[in-house]
Amino acid sequence: MYKLLLLDADGTIFDFDKAEEYALQSSLEYFKYHGDFIELKKKYKIINSGLWHELELGNISKNELREERFRRLFTIYKLDFNIKDFSDIYLQFLSKGSYLIDGAVDICKYLSSKYKLVILTNGIKEVQLSRLEGSVIKDYISDIIISEEAGVNKPDPYIFEYSFNKIKHSCKSDVMIIGDSLTSDIQGGNNFGIDSCWLNLNNITNKTTALPTYSINSLAELKELL
């Protein structure tokens, strides 16, 4: 019987794609960009996702990531915007993007009546805190733990150890992590020795070494599982 559920934030509870698009478009409008937004957005997503994967591997720091993604993007599109200023504006807009995955409110309300819910995220601290504070699910969440606090990112097992210490939980057998990322959430659960549930919204094939305890294709399926 589970007592504690660790929830990933982006792609699991929060609709990061929508927040990212809003922040990127708003930032470009702020800097008066008049080019093809659709193509630029596609290129940015590729660059950004690649850098977040490098973060999981420990090859880049979060502070470096903040600006490196725009440095690479601006190089491709020959944009002369100030990288630091653009990054700061982008994060301001991103902090307002409290968009939720379909079914997130209902499932958080349901789960919070039975389990302790803690968000465990690799996201940027000021962004994640702001988005949670501006969200209708905040009253269902007992705590939020951000990788910057622990000094490491998922899937490093230390972030789970740090989380257990922070919330004063000691038993691994009554904990499950729920997330959309095989390489971060599920591999992290494997590394630490706790159960995991993979939220596979796009019904993709698992080609990684991560082994989820359970797999679901929608948040609503958690009602049947838990």
* Secondary structure (DSSP) of 83-128: HHHHHHHHHHHHTT---B-TTHHHHHHHHHTTSEEEEEE-S-HHHH
Region 74-81: mean pLDDT is 96
Task: Given the residues 8, 156, 180, 195, select the one marked as catalytic.
Answer: 8
Does 8 qualify as catalytic in the annotation? yes
CA distance 182 to 216: 13
For residues 19 and 99, the answer to whether their CB atoms sit within 8 Å is yes
For residues 12 and 100, the answer to whether their CB atoms sit within 8 Å is no
* pLDDT reported for residue 205: 97
In one letter, which amino acid is 13?
I
* pLDDT reported for residue 220: 97
Region 70-90: mean pLDDT is 97
pTM score > 0.85 for this model? yes
pLDDT, tens digit (0-9, with 9 covering 90-100), for 119-159:
999 999 999 999 999 999 999 999 999 999 999 999 999 99
